[in-house]
Structure 1
Amino acid sequence: MGVLAVVVILGANTPPAWSYVSDYMHDQLINSDDYKSRYGKWDVIELPPDVRVNAIHAALLPTGRILIIAGSGNDTEQFAAGTFKSLVYDPATGRTRLISTPTDIFCAGHAFLPDGKLLVAGGTLRYEVLEPQVTRAAGLMVVKNESPNGGPRVFPKGTEFVSPAGKKFTATSEFTVQPATKVIVKGGAKVTASTTSIWVESTVEGPSGVTPLRANYKITGLIGQDRENIYGLNEKMTLDKQDFQGRREAFEFNPYTEQYERVGDMAEQRWYPTLTGLPDGRVIAVSGLDGAGQVVPGINEIYDPKTKAWTERKDLQQYFPTYPAIFQTAKPGVLFYSGSNSGYGPATKGRDPAFWDLRTNKLTLVPGIRDADMLETSGSVWVGPVQDQKLMVVGGGGVGDSPKSTARIDIVDLDAETPRFTPGPDLPEAARYPILVTLPDDTTLISNGSKGYRGRGASDNNNARIYHPDTNTLSYAADPNVGRDYHSAGVLLPDGRVLTVGSNPLFADKLDTITAPFEQRLEVFTPAYLYQGGVRPAIMAGPDKLSWGKTGEFTTSDPSQLATARLLRPGASTHVTDVEQRSVALEMTPTATGVKLTVPKQRALVPPGPYMLFLTDKRGVPSVAHWVFVG
C-alpha cells in the first residue's frame, strides 16, 4: 500500500518533479569547471531597491566605475516631476552612488575627452504625445531678429506670441535669439536676420487653436524697436501627434568628482544624437531630433574641450538617421558610417553605409551589405585590432515598428582597394538590439537582443556567441539569464568581464497583453578565458601616460608567456550604439622584468584619452587592466 501511494503521488507530480530535476541538472552543468572553462558564466546582480535605475546609457569611467544614466528613464511621470537619475556603480566592490543629474539627459549622446571626462550632450526636452492625447494645438515658431545691435537675448519658457487675429501661443522651453548679422558692402551694409526655431503650443485647448495659415506674431512684453525687430513666424499649428524633442545642453561628467559640469550649449537641439571623437580630441555631434521633433536636417557641429564650446559646421551638411554608427577611421578627417542606426528618419534617406570625408564633405558609398532594409537597431563594432580596419554589422530590423529582423553578420575591410561588405557567420536567431563588446583577446562577445520590435511576442534572445575575427566564425558562449532588448547596453570591465544593463520591452507575454516593467537587474559575464586555471598575467608597474610613437616599459609577471598587448578604449553605450570601443595592438618587446610597449604613431588609430592596457598570455588569458592615458 505504501509503495502504491508513492507511485500515485509521483505520477500526479511528474511535470513539476521532472522540472525540478531538470533545473537542478542544468544548474550543476553550467556551474561545473569544465563548462565554465569552455563557455564562461553569467551572474545576475540585484541592486538595493533605493538605487535601482532604468539604465538607458552605460559608460566605463577611467576610475573603473560605471556611470549608468537613466535621466527620466523613459517614464513620463518621472519627467513631469523633474526626477532625473544617474548612478555610479563600482563592479569591484558593489558600491553605488546616486548622482545629481541637472537635466533630462535621457537619450543624449556621449564621447570620452582627452582628460577622461565624458562629454554628454542633448537629451529629452519633451516626451512624445500621441494624437488622441494632444489637447492643445502646437507647432514650430521661427523667431527672427532683424537688429544687429546688442548681444544674444534669452527668453523664458512661457514667452507668449500673439497673432494679428489674437491667437496666442507660448514657448514650451527657454530659448535664445541671436542678433542679426551685419556685413559692410559697397554703398552701405547688408543685414541678415537671425532665426531661431522653437516649439510653441496654444494657450487654449481644442480645435480653436489650430492655425493652418502663416502669420507674423508679436512677442508679449517687448517694447520700442525690439517690438518691431524681434517677432515670430509660425508653421502650421495642429493637433497631430507630437514627437520627442531634443535638448541643446551639454555637460562634462567628471569621473573623479562624479559630478556633471555644464559647458557650452550645442547650436542645435538633439535627441538620439551620435558623438564621435576625432584624432585631435574634439568631438563631432551628428543627427538627433530637434526642438520640433524632426530629424536635424544635416546640421552637424564640433565641440572643442579647450574652449568648452560648440561650432556649427555649415561646410559639413550631411543627413543621417538618429544614433548613426559613425566611426573614426585610420585616416584623419575620414569617418565611416556603417549604416547602423536606432530609428527616426525616412526609410529612403541616409541609410546607406559610406565613408564621410570631412575635408571635402563627400560621401562615398560602400556596397555589399545584406538585408540593407534592416539596418535599424543593428549593432556595429570594430573587430580585432583597429589597425586591421575591419568593422562588423550585426543583426537589425526593419524601419520603425517593423516585424522584420535579421540574423546577418557582415564584415567590411576599410583598407581594401575597393571596400565592400562580405558575409560573416549568421547569428543563431534574428536579433534587433544585439549587445556587442570587444574583448582583450581580439574576440567580440555578441549577446542578447530580440527577434521582435522591443521584444514583442516575448521574443528576447537569451543566447550569446563569441566572434573570432581570425577564422570569421562564431563559437558558443553560456546563455545569459536576463533578456535584454530596447534600452540595453554592455561594457567591458577592467578585470576582463562584461557588464550588461537595461531592457525596456513593451510587453511581458507572448500575446502582448501585459505591460512589461523596465529590467533593472544587472548581469556580469565571465568569459571562458578567466576559467583556464593557473596564474593570470599581471601588470605590476608602468607609466599611466603614453604618447603616439613612444615606448613605455612595464613590469609584469612571467614576460616569456605574454602573447599580445592591447589598449582598449572604454565603452560608452546606448541604443545599440557604441562608437567609442576600439582595440589597439601595441608593438611588444620582452625585457628581463617585463615588456616595452610602443603606441602607433597614427593619432586617428588612437584618439587621445583613457585606455585599458591588457596583456594576454599564450593561453588567451588577459591581465587585469592597467589604466593609461594616450595624448
Structure 2
Amino acid sequence: MVVLAGLNAPAAISYAERTYHAYRIEQHGYKARFGHWDLLDVPDRHRVDAIHAALLRTGKVLLIAGSGNNEKSFDAGSFKTLLWDPVRNTFKHVPTPDDLFCSGHAQLPGGRLLVAGGTARYEIMADKVERAAGPMLVKNEDPDVTRSFRRGTVFRAPDGREYRAVRAFTVPAATKHKSRKGKVTVTAGEVRVFVEAAQKGRGQVRKRPAQYRIEGLSGSDRRNLYGLAQAMTLDKQDYQGINAAYEFDPRTERYVPVDPMAESRWYPTLVTLSDGRVLAVSGLDDVGQIINGKNEIFDPRKRTWSTAPHRYFPTYPALFLTRGGKLFYSGSNAGYGPADEGREPGLWDLRRNTFQRVPGLKDADETETSASVLLPPAQDQKVMVLGGGGVGESKRSTARTAVVDLKRSPRFTDGPDLPQGTRYLSSVILPDDTVFTTGGSVDYRGKSDSDIHHAQFYTPRKNAFRPAAAPVVGRNYHSSALLLPDGRVATFGSDPLYADPDNTQTGSFEQRVEIYTPPYLYRKGRPVLGAGPTELQRGATARFALAAGGKVATARLMRPSAVTHTTDVEQRSVEVPVRQRGRSLRLSVPKDPALLPPGWYMLFVSDGKGTPSRARWVHVPPR
C-alpha cells in the first residue's frame, strides 16, 4: 500500500495543482491583475488556417488562409477567407480569387485593405524532386506581335529533351530604338517562366546554358521566339509567387482586383507611406528566386503600381514609417535569403535611396522570426526587437530584446530579456501604452514540443516586463494576434511541424481562436465616448463628448493591424493631446503625416488608471 501510494502521489499532486489553478484564474482578483483567456466558439464549418489577420474599419476581422499551407487545397484550387464579427460573433466565408497564402497587406487611406502577392506553386524538397527543372528566359524579337502561351508549352533543347512551362505566360513584343543617326536597333521582349522536364529522372538534368526551341511555332515565329536557360537541375524547388493584387472592400465584403504588380511576390512586406501610397518589397518571384531589390509602389487613387527605389531585403522584412518619411528596418524578417545579406538594421531614406546602418543589436544573427514593434506612443520614435532565431531551420533562439531611439544618434540598447529564447512571438500595442506579448516557441516551428505558454506586458516607461495570464493554446509559425476595438486581444493560428515531443508525428494547423481580456477591462468606471466627428484633420482640434466616466488622462489614435508571420508594420499608437472641460473633450490632432499616415484609426480615451473606452472609428484623410 505504501508503494502504491508513492506511485500515485505525483499524479494526485498534479491533479490538485491543475484544479487549484483552474479555480484561481477565474477569481476576479486574479483577472484584475493578470487578465483572462477565453476560447472562442468557432463552428467547425467556419474554421480556417488563419495565415493572415487584419482588422477592418467595420470592426470585423479578415482571416485569410488561401490554400492554408496545404498542398492538397492548392492543387484543388480551394482558397479560403473568413470574415469574423467580434461583436455579434458571426462568421462569413468570402470567395477568394487567388491563392493569397503568404501574401502581403496594408491598410489603404479609404479603409480598404490592399492584398498583394501569394502562391503560384508549392515548394518541392530536393529528395522529392522527380523532374529536372529551372527558370527560363523567353525572348521575342518580333516588334509587332505580343504572344501568349498556355501552360504546358513545350521547349525543346538542342539534344531533343523536352521541358514544359508550369504556367501560362505572355511574351511582350520587342521594342525598336532609333538613334540620332537613323540606325534602328531592336531589343527583344522577354518574360521569365519556370519549366520542368516532360520525363522524370536524372537523365533530364542539363548543366550547360542552351537555347530552346518553342514547339508548335512556324515561319518567322520559329526564329523570333525562343527560350534561354542556364541549367535544368534536380535541386530543391522553392515556393513561387504571383503578381496579383486586390483591395478588400469592408463594405461589400469582397475582393476587388486592381492592376497586378510588375514582380510576382511570395512573402512580401507591404508598408504604408506618409502620403497613403503603399510600398511593396522583397518576396520570392515566379521562379522561386528571392527578388534582388526590385521594389514597387501602389497608388490607391490610380490603383496602379510604379517602380520604387532599388534595395534588397530578406523576405517579410519589418519596415516602419518614421519621422521625415524614412523607413526603419529593424532586422526582423521571416526567412528567405542568405544569412549574410540584407539583415543589418538601418534607416532607409526613400528619396535619396540611402541606408544608414544602426549598430548595437545583440544576437544580430538571430533576427529571423523575431517580433518588432513601434513602441507607444509613436511620437517617441522608439522601435523594439523581441526574440528571434537563427536563419532557416536553426535550433537557436534568443531571449534578447533591444530598443532603438530614432530621435537620437540611433543605436540599439539592451532591453529586458524574455523569460526564454523565443521565436514567433506576437506583440500587440494596447491603449494604455503597454505592449502585450504572447506565444511563440523555443525551436523552429515548435519542434520538440517547445511552444511557450506564457504572456507578459512590456511597459516602455519602465523598460520592464510584468506577467500576464497564460494562454491555453500554443502558437508558433503562422500565428498572429491583434487588438480589437473593445480593447481585447484576439490570437489566431499556429503551424507546428510536429505533433509530439519526439518529432515523429506530423503536426496540424491550429484552428482555435483564443481571446485575451486585459486587466484594465476588469475595472469599474470605463470611459464612454459620446458624439464627435468621424473625419479628423491634421493640425486641427476635434471636439468629443464624454458620455460617461470621470477624468480623461490620455487619448490615442491606433492604426488597425494587418499581421502575418509575426510581421505587423501597420499597428501604431499615436498620442493625441487632450483637454477636458466637464463632459467636453478637445483633441489636438498631430500634423505630421509620417507620424499619422492617412487612413482609419481607432480612437481610445483612457482615465488616469489606464482604463480605456471602447474605440470610436475616425478617419484621417490624405493631404
Scaled to the shorter chain, the TM-score interval is over 0.9
Distance 1:536 1:182 in 2: 69
Residue 341 (structure 1) aligned with residue 333 (structure 2): yes
User: 1:177, CA displacement in angstroms?
Assistant: 2.1
Name which of 159, 173, 178 aligns with 1:179.
173
1:118-157 → structure 2 map (5 Å cutoff): 118-150=113-145, 152-157=146-151
Aligned partners of 1:149 and 1:179 also within 8 Å: yes
Alignment partner of 1:492 out of 480, 483, 499: 483
Residue 403 of structure 1 pairs with residue 378 of structure 2:
no
Q: Given the alignment, which residue of 303, 324, 329 partners 1:331?
A: 324
Which amino acid in structure 2 is aligned with residue 415 of structure 1?
K
* Mapped contact 2:528–2:549 kept (Cα < 8 A): no
Structure 1 residues 85-136: Cα deviation after superposition (integer angstroms, max 9, x where no partner): 1111111221111111111110000001111111111111111111222111
The alpha-carbon deviation at position 206 of structure 1 amounts to 1.4
C-alpha distance in structure 1 between counterparts of 2:332 and 2:8, whole Å: 50
AA of the residue aligned to 2:317: P
Give the aligned partner of residue 550 of structure 1. 540
| RMSD between superposed Cα atoms in Å | 1.7
CA distance in 2, matches of 1:324, 1:12: 52
- Alignment partner, residue 604 of structure 2: 614
The answer to whether structure 1 residue 505 and structure 2 residue 496 are counterparts is yes
Aligned runs of 1:553-572 on 2, under 5 Å? 553-558=543-548, 561-572=551-562
- The answer to whether the 8 Å contact 1:559/1:591 transfers is no
Compared with structure 1, are the counterparts of its residues 40 and 211 closer, same or farther at alpha carbon in structure 2 (3 Å cutoff)?
same
1:228 to 223, 228, 233: 223
Match of 2:265 in 1: 270
Alignment partner, residue 253 of structure 1: 248
Shift of 1:182: 3.1
The amino acid across from 2:579 in the alignment is T
2:354 aligns with 362
Paired position in structure 1 for 2:20 = 25
Q: CA deviation at 1:163?
A: 2.6
2:589 and 2:188 map into 1 onto residues whose CA distance is 50
Task: Report Cα offsets for 1:222-278 as digits up to 9, x if no partner.
Answer: 444333323211121111111111111111111111111111111111110000111
Question: How far 1:594 sits from its partner (Å)?
Answer: 2.3
- Unaligned 5+ segments in structure 1 are none
CA contact (8 A) 2:555 2:605 kept: yes
Cα distance in 1 for residues equivalent to 2:7 and 2:201: 63
Distance 1:230 1:310 in 2: 28
Quote the offset at 1:14 in angstroms.
4.0
What corresponds to 1:525 in structure 2?
516
**Contact 2:529–2:548 (Cα < 8 Å) also in 1:** no
3-state SS in 2 of match to 1:331: helix
Which secondary structure does the structure 2 equivalent of 1:541 belong to? coil
Q: How far 1:344 sits from its partner (Å)?
A: 0.8
The count of corresponding residues between Structure 1 and Structure 2 is 620
SS, match of residue 68 in structure 2: coil
Report deviation, 1:547: 2.0
Q: Distance in 2 between matches of 1:595 and 1:223?
A: 76
Distance in 2 of aligned mates of 1:214 and 1:291: 20
Question: Bigger shift: 206-215 or 388-397?
Answer: 206-215
Bigger mean CA offset, 420-429 vs 226-235: 226-235
Matched residue, 2:200:
205
Determine the C-alpha separation between the residues in 2 that align with 1:281 and 1:153: 36
Distance 2:385 2:3 in 1: 56
Shift of 1:442: 0.8
Q: Following the alignment from structure 2 to structure 1, what is the Cα–Cα distance between the partners of residues 352 and 187?
A: 27
Equivalents in 2 of 1:605, 1:175: separation in Å? Answer: 42
Which residues of structure 2 form unaligned runs of 5+?
A: none
Determine what percentage of the aligned residue pairs are the same residue: 53
1:419-462 CA distances to partner (integer Å, 9 max, x unpaired)? 00001111011100000001011110011101101111111111
1:53 partner SS: coil
2:388–2:423 CA contact under 8 A, matched in 1: yes
Greater Cα shift, 501-510 or 200-209: 200-209
Distance change (3 Å), C-alpha of 1:159 and 1:312: farther
Residue 107 (structure 1) aligns with: 102
Q: Structure 1 pair 229/591, CA: closer, same or farther in 2 (3 Å)?
A: farther
Summarize the alignment of residues 23-172 of structure 1 with structure 2, pairs less than 5 Å apart: 23-150=18-145, 152-172=146-166
Q: In 2, are the aligned partners of 1:136 and 1:204 still within 8 Å (CA)?
A: yes
Equivalent-residue separation in structure 2 for 1:301 and 1:273 (angstroms):
11
For residues 561-600 of structure 1, what are the structure 2 equivalents within 5 Å?
A: 561-600=551-590
Partner Cα distance (1:472, 1:396) in 2: 19
- TM-score for both structures, normalised by structure 1: 0.95
Higher mean C-alpha deviation, range 405-414 or range 37-46: 37-46
In the TM superposition, residue 555 of structure 1 has moved relative to its aligned partner by: 1.3
The CA distance in 1 between the partners of 2:369 and 2:275, in whole Å, is 30
- The Cα of 1:592 is off from its aligned counterpart by 4.0
> Structure 1 residue 554: deviation in Å?
1.1
Matches within 5 A, 1:435-514: 435-514=426-505
Give distance in 2, aligned partners of 1:627 and 1:513.
48
1:393 match: 385
Task: Determine which of 605, 611, 615 is the counterpart of 2:595.
Answer: 605
CA distance in 2, matches of 1:510, 1:612: 42
Q: Per-residue deviation at 1:488?
A: 0.1
Alignment match, 1:352 = 344
CA distances 1:579-608 after superposition (whole Å, capped 9, x unpaired): 001011112122443212122111111111
Show the 5 A alignment for 1:288-307.
288-307=283-302
Q: Retained in 2: the 8 A contact 1:558–1:594?
A: no
Greater Cα offset, 505-514 or 377-386? 505-514
Structure 1 residue 12: deviation in Å?
Answer: 7.2
Read off the aligned partner of 1:439 and give its amino acid letter: L
The alignment's TM-score, normalised by the length of structure 2, stands at 0.97
Write the distance in 1 (CA, Å) between the matches of 2:607 and 2:547. 10
Deviation at 1:63, TM superposition (A): 0.8
